[in-house]
Amino acid sequence: MREIIQNIKYPGFILKCDEELILDSGKSLDKFEIAYQTYGKLNVDKSNAILVCHALTGDQFPAEKNPITKKIGWWDLMIGPGKTIDTEKYFVICSNVLGGCVGTTGPNEISPKTNKIYGIDFPTITIQDMVKVQKILIDELKIKKLLSVIGGSMGSMQVLQWAASYPESLRSIVSIAGALKHSAQNIAFDEAGRQSIMLDPNWRKGNYLSENTKPENGLSVARMIAHITYLSDAAFQKKFGRNLQEKKDLSFGFDIDFQVESYLRYQGKSFVDRFDANSYLYMTRAMDYFDVSEQVIKNKKSIISNKIRFLVVSFTSDWLFPTKESRGIVSLLNSIGSLVSSAEVESDRGHDSFLLDEPQLFKITTGFLKGIKS
């Protein structure tokens, strides 16, 4: 049985699914919930729906004010009336991913089997599992074909998985700052972050919530490590250089001397207040396992027959998901004869460029979406 209800804890909606969900690992969830938000109106023939997929630390609130953090949504620059993803034209859907910590079933939720918090007993998940749950949501909304599926970073992984798994259910794909698979370097950064969490004494073997504690130091360091990869050297230099933090001289100690140190510590501390440590473990692992190349080749006939149009965008200064990774996506799509356009956006702000005010990105995406028949 499936039922859509108002989400009281996290304003928006929840799809409650009283059914078994078989995961890639072979394990399953007896019941699960999908937290989501929508913007705009669905037209009569349900042909104007766009699914937006969030990145690692995102949530289901990409636009307007986030009801939890009270900050502007992570993609408010892209989504809204008159913007690139125009909510006066399109019906926009965004769900918190499986394994997340903002209402969708994840390690910080209660297990129906034990009536206790899942913690580390939550089964390992993949990007394909996340997309499988999104497809259940789209089916429940009775949308047969999405106008587009759009996402950056981990969102791009979901986008590409949609094309591989459900090509009959979409008209177009916008992959931004993504890759066909996680590189060894990215897996290494993820592992460093996970180890910082698991080596925190307050992690308690994943049982910190039931023991009323939190691995704040470990999660903070994990966020600091990751955040370094989101910016470019030029962005760090332009924003901070070697400027001292509210002082004239070096302390010759290990307190904060430089502005960049203060910035990273702030990023770590603020992240601890809004994100679950176990979710971070599960979601980074899902990214590490991601490799969609063979699935795309296997389903090439369906991708071609459904005439899916692809837009692949990268940024010149992104060293986490560099342009060569996007070229790999384009090369694979060209090899199977798909309809693909690509663009490299000039930016000195690194991987986070896809979340920032980048007019060229907006212009390219706006034009692409206008060319898709609703």
* Catalytic residue, candidates 153, 175, 232, 353: 153
Active site residue 25: no
Active site residue 351: yes
* Catalytic residue, candidates 59, 86, 318, 352: 318
Whether the Cβ atoms of residue 110 and residue 98 lie closer than 8 Å to each other: no
* Catalytic residue, candidates 54, 351, 352, 353: 351
Please choose, from the candidates 367, 364, 354, the residue with its C-alpha nearest in 3D space to the C-alpha of residue 54: 354
Active site residue 153: yes
Encoding tokens for residue 101? 């910590």
182 vs 140: CA distance, rounded Å: 31
Question: Which residues are known to be catalytic?
Answer: 153, 318, 351
